[in-house]
Amino acid sequence: MPNLDSNIEFLKGVGPQRADILKTELGIFTCRDLLFHFPFRYIDRTKFHSIRNLHHEGETVQLRGTLRRLETLGEGRAKRLVGTLRDETGILELVWFRSVQWLEKSLVVGKEYIVFGRVSEFNGKFNMPHPEMEEAPSSPPIRGGESPEYNGAFPGVKPAPPLMGGAGGAAKNFDPVYPTTDKLTQKGMDAKGLRKLIRTLLDGLSASDLPETLPDYLGAQFKLTPRWQALNKIHFPETQLELDAAIRRIKFEELFFLQLRLLQVRTRRKDSVRGFVFSKIGDYFNQFYQEKLAFELTGAQKRVLKEIRADLASGKHMNRLVQGDVGSGKTVVALMTMLMALDNGHQACLMAPTEILAQQHLEGITALVGELGVNVGYLSGSVKGKKREAILAKLASGEMHIVIGTHALIEDWVQFKNLGISVIDEQHRFGVEQRSRLWAKNPAGPPHVLVMTATPIPRTLAMTLYGDLDISVINELPPGRKPITTIHKTEHHRLRVQGFMRDEISKGHQVYVVYPMIEETEKVDLQNLMSGFEALSRDFPTPQYQISIVHGKMKAGDKDFEMQRFIKKETQIMVATTVIEVGVNIPNASLMVIENAERFGLSQLHQLRGRVGRGADQSYCLLLTGHKLSHDGRERIQTMVQTTDGFIIAETDLRLRGPGNIEGTQQSGMLRFLLADLARDGQIIAVAREVAAQILEKDPELALPEHLRLRMQLASEGKDTRVWSRIS
């Protein structure tokens, strides 16, 4: 019997050909990879629906019936295989669009099959596309009305509901169903074939092959199933309770070791990376606060500034994330933080993802500092020649106090005399390696780092993605801001929408009209944008109305020209793509119209809505969609209409979309969970983080004998892990 690190081809039943397909299709190279290829659902083979009782499109059901017809229709890409399944209550059409030739040879008309799949509706009739088919055994089925699917979700640390009802989870005959592909299926490695391989693998293993990774006291404290048992029962549970316990153990282990790694990095950074000591609050800060600040800071802004002040005075390196909703006042907090650096003889930089946003920060900060004597400069890829040389000379000499710019700031030719703090706005727009290069800008030591985002981050995601950072939240809006009213309209309300636009323009206000620009269909999207622009030009003719247009395919100079026309109120309507999603600040704009709003994610819709509501007047966001919306699309639109709270929106977005592959190098490696679900497992994350923090507080280096397993597991996990978290 091969060991867990053996090449998968040496497992009985695999061989070279199957091994090659497992590697290319599923990334399974070793026996260990196969063991951790978990089922994505479980089927209780004793429970069946009847065809007559199918009522809802989208429900996942198991049926048992006889295949009565099978024929191939269409040609080329339209080729499909159509069959008819009959049970004692009715008939259902089955249809396949892939692997048609193989299925024609494999399926036999007249045989009885167990069929599993999702019900669809076409031309008023139910059908089942791409069902899983398996020859039925001779035992009679038990009819039931419940879905046979258990999706592996584990809400918090409570037991999941029983798979098919029944006291104590007594259901048996659970079949695990594994992710597979058409190519694997054709080689006999469908869900059933993979099940057989994993059974062979587990039969050849013992507890010593899968040693425990957690201290005994943790297993006892949380009543965790032993690791060996959990890995067996996740594949072949006999009861619902066994399955729940296995899922709970594996999720806890995944999340616990993630939090342990993050907190260990954070502890070591704080202990080992020294930061410049900003010991005083001087003239720059005090004069700005007392004389130049035209409004009272919110309580949240004051709290965050105190947190930053404590970091900068501690002698330890600051690595802090400030998150706050659109318009919450993050820029003022960033400026006052930079003024603390100036008061202590250091320079500061602010890096933004786009020239539009960087220039806007330049204008805003220049206006705020007024005649304080702060030398503020601007640097981007478009700044050339003698102008660039002059800026670089001032930075190198220390004459320039604050530089605001794009990713040009990280280029090797940009040198500072004494950079003390780097502020990174909309940090998710930069790769981690890009951000890391700011660390090298001061030979005397790394500058403090403050990263900002206007995209609210759900608590569970923040604890995971940014678990090694200190996090501050600005959760108040400045006084006097009126909540934005959000309205959903469909296509046949377009004339009313145009009337509303005219009303707002007649009041002297300005309007955004935003179209989607999705990479996969950008040629079509660009056509839609231009068609929309032409239609608006007809409905809002010159000279009474002027319209600007901005999209990502325009040259930077043309884009800036159009944007400046809108800023100067020379145009009343701005037709744009999501290029205006971040940072555009036009207080006179009171209406945001979002075309095809169903094509945007929730966070993007929220960011776009935040472009209005920046003045004292009532502002509106109109979401225009088609008549037919998917379930998720409808929930996104309803969420936008019901709340302007970015954190509620972020939690809903996480639940609907999942975390996905989020934000660059560090995070993409972090979120490849086997079972854990950040949208559902918030309680487990919180418990895992608390336990990890307690362990590291008692034993920072995990040197105690009872933590030997933890040390070994972290060392094993960390062999191929490059830690970027020190530079946020």
* Residue 645 one-letter amino acid: D
| The predicted structure's pLDDT at residue 160 | 36
Q: At what angle do helices 682-698 and 240-272 cross, to 10 degrees?
A: 50
Give the whole-angstrom CA distance, residue 465 versus residue 714.
18
Enter the CATH code of domain 485-643: 3.40.50.300
Spell out the residues 6+ positions from residue 414 whose beta carbon is closer than 8 angstroms to its own: 379, 392, 395, 408, 441
Query: Taking a C-beta distance cutoff of 8 angstroms, is the pair 514, 594 a contact?
Result: yes
Class of 283-314+329-453 in CATH: alpha beta
CA neighbours within 13 Å on the CB side: how many for 248? 20
Query: Taking a C-beta distance cutoff of 8 angstroms, is the pair 706, 418 a contact?
Result: no
Give the whole-angstrom CA distance, residue 360 versus residue 583.
7
| The predicted structure's pLDDT at residue 677 | 80
Per-10-residue mean pLDDT of the chain, 728 residues long, equals 86 93 93 92 80 83 92 85 93 89 88 89 86 77 44 38 33 74 85 90 92 94 94 91 93 92 82 85 93 88 96 90 84 95 95 86 90 92 91 94 92 91 77 66 86 77 71 82 90 92 96 78 71 92 92 82 90 87 75 93 87 86 91 91 86 73 39 76 88 93 94 77 41
* Residue 659 one-letter amino acid: P
What are 631's two structure tokens?
């379930």
| The predicted structure's pLDDT at residue 234 | 94
Give the whole-angstrom CA distance, residue 609 versus residue 604.
9
| The predicted structure's pLDDT at residue 722 | 41
Give the whole-angstrom CA distance, residue 465 versus residue 259.
10
Give the whole-angstrom CA distance, residue 525 versus residue 531.
10
List C-alpha distances in Å: 712 to 36, 559, 670, 705: 19, 55, 19, 12
Q: Quick one: which of 456, 452, 501 has its CA closest to 475?
A: 456
- The predicted model scores a pTM of 0.65
Tell me the backbone φ, ψ of residue 491, rounded to 5 degrees: -50, -40
Q: Reduce the DSSP state of residue 592 to 3 states and report it.
A: strand
pLDDT, tens digit, 9 for 90 and up, residues 643-683: 988 878 888 887 787 665 343 333 434 456 788 887 778 88
pLDDT, tens digit, 9 for 90 and up, residues 477-529: 777 778 899 999 998 899 999 999 999 999 999 999 999 875 545 666 667 88
Residue 152 CB neighbour total at 10 angstroms: 17
Give the whole-angstrom CA distance, residue 717 versus residue 318.
27
| The predicted structure's pLDDT at residue 671 | 55
Domain with CATH 3.40.50.300 in the chain: 283-314+329-453, 485-643
Q: Reduce the DSSP state of residue 118 to 3 states and report it.
A: strand
